[in-house]
Chain A
Amino acid sequence: MSTAHDATAPDARARFRMERKPRALRLVAEGEWTTKDAAKLSAALKHIDLGDATTAEIDGTHLDRLDSAGAWLLVRTKREWEEQGKKVGAIALAPVYDSLLHTVEHEHTAPPVTIHNRHTLLAFTERVGKATIHGLQQGLGIMGYVGRVTVEATEAIYHPRGNLRVAALIHQIEETGINSLPIVGLLSFLIGIVLAYQGADQLKRFGAEVFTINLLGVGLLREIAGLITAIIIAGRSGSAFTAQIGTMRVNEEIDAMQTIGINIVDALVLPRVIGLAIALPFLTFYADIMGLLGGAVMCYFDLAITPEVFMRQLQEAISLNTFLVGMIKAPVFAMIIGMVGCYEGLQVERNAASVGRLTTRSVVESVFLVIVLDAAFSIIFSIVGI
């Protein structure tokens, strides 16, 4: 009794047939058993009905071509049959495939890896958990680091032991301050225009368009100019800090500095943080001026308010405190941006991918912290009553 069982269409490159005898089974593989057709073959092989056979044979001597995936299918079938208690003889193959069969059959004995489906609820929960733990560790790490930088910075100021690198500091002031004047200026100017336009549009309805100037003055000086500047600088300089220090980490420059005995905080962190803390208040002041200028231009064209009227109204609208409230936040923002940027740079591992990842993280974290701090300042000022 012998039944033919075509695994795939008769004209297919890869096929097999089953020869059945009482209590015995014989698989004859034919054609080209290659990776290309492995999926079809695999499915067909899984559906073989073993029937009452107690012994089985696998005959590959009629194969025209066999590659490692094909060989794997033969070996897998043999193993599966053996697991079901059948007696399976050695796989018969042309001698050219001996070493291939040996490689597949003897070097590979472990069960296949399972790749977890990443979309299940369990996996989601796991990711949330991991991210939470990671976030907490991150917070702890930053706190430790902020402590260290604070101590070293205080030391550098109160007991100058020549560890503040003046050249590097000046370079950082130039890099983060002077070089970002164009972008900060342009953006503040535009923000001033937008704010004036929107304010005028709304206040016109009450005939109170002159109060646009109050809105501009208070809004810009207290909040917006400082915030915009800090966010621009976080994107521009904070990311640069992470990328620079991170690249040094990848190149083992940081390790080299450490072995020479250079204090990393002194050499890399303090010039950047202090440089930024000096530059950012100036930038904020500059942004104040540019924003008001933009507003004045808009007021002149939209509301026909002359510069003289603008100045007079501005003087009435704002006090010195309004200006100082905005300015006092700048060095704090600078510290945060600088420290986060340097901290993330030092966290870089020795591969290029982590530089990119941590640079992104550094920008996100510093923008986040800047806004959170700004809110905190608002609360404090409202309690103090400024």
Chain B
Amino acid sequence: MNIVTGFSRTAEDAPDLLAVSVEGLEYSYGTLRDTVCASAGWILARCGTPRHVAVLASRSYGVYAGILAAGWAGAAYVPLSPKLPEIRLKSILSRLRPEAIIVDNNGLSRVSSLRQGEDTFPPVLLISGKNAAEVSEEGSAVIDTEPALKPAERSASDIAYIMFTSGTTGEPKGVMVPCGAVERFMSVMQERYRLTPADRLSQTFETTFDLSVFDMFMTWRSGASLHVLPATQLMAPRRFIVQNNLTVWFSVPSTAALMDRMNMLPAGIFPSLRLSLFCGEALGESTALAWRRAAPKSVVENLYGPTEATIACTLQPVDDPPYSTPGRGVIAIGQPYPGTDAAIFGPNLQPLEDGQSGELVLGGAQLAAGYFGDSERTAAAFPVIHGKCWYRTGDLAYRDSQGVFHHLGRIDNQVKVLGNRVELEEVDAHLRRAAGTDLAASVAWPLEDNGAASGIVAFVAGSDRPADDIRNAMRAAVPAYMVPSRICVLDRLPLNASGKTDRKALVAMLKEGV
């Protein structure tokens, strides 16, 4: 049950079809397979039986070939952004200890500084264009290892990928997703959407975001083509959709909301789209309806799901009028996929009645295997209740009398910034270090109409460091979307009744225009 099996089959049956269009170049399934077989052969020759292969690359041919090669060789792939600060990359690599690292040219520029100070460092393979070369401290050499002609056998419980997401303690959490969960997700999606070689899919998500798994692997198992958006077109991708005749669009709702706000969704602008999916944050009603009008032939669906339940696990079709969450102006998150169980639990993990709000919990075939190297946190997040394993999402929700789920926000301080999952406690932890004070707190701001955030604002008190210095120190420690866009220096931070920093009061200050 290897996640690359579908790709392998397509490459065998139809090697001339277009597999991926990226950086202005087109690569067929046959070409991509040749790179993958050569790279996987190198992994096996250099690492024996690899468990984890890190892929330090982004929006390049190398990232797609690298992910497929890791899977082909029987390893879990671990996507890492070349834009991550060094300290974070080093922390993940030292915990993970991957047997190999695959890079593109952007990833390569990070390797020499990552190597510095390390006694041992995994072998590095550079995939640049169609060429693959091993890169050592002495230089690079084109690989001449035997290609691996067939993908490795994998079982349902083997790990397909590990995604590192924000963690409350300041250290990112590695969500381990098994091959069986991915296979289950993909078969449910294929049953519903029936992708064919005629389909042309968008690729908006960074590969460090698990929604990219849908784009890549749904494309390749159905013989369709993947069209990678350049970073500069992500904000306003209208031209990209039209010029590439995309048939399937998948993005965070923010992308559509921004286009709507910029009057870039006139009726009928996307005649080629037959399927439009949104996931990662709340989908506003008005955005969803604007998209429906812009893509009149497209089915529009709102997906929901944490990385811990594999990509997405509930969905709500967007009709007109839409099935929305009363009083919130957002589309409901819908009903669970076949094979996924969803329920609402109270504070003592007891099931609640329909209409009562509580924590959304998920069970079934798409659950992740837990957090890498963190059995304590795994046990807390994946409790076994009456013999059944559940994942506690931390999302506040209720189920209505029709069996449809509605999302009401978070129980904790996790927020979504333009679709990226951020634990505010993690931002605070780094902020305290950067500002040299314990009096530091962050909030998601500004908030969009659908409750999603487009940035983070930080508040510090008792720090003698200039805001610019604090921001620069944050930039060196956390991904860009976690760096506060503003840092407000106060005399003191407001406290709530229990003596903790009152984030609601901070948001109220921003609403008043502080």
A and B assemble together: no
Binding site for A on B (CB under 8 A): none
Q: Which of A's residues lie within 8 Å of B, judged by CB?
A: none
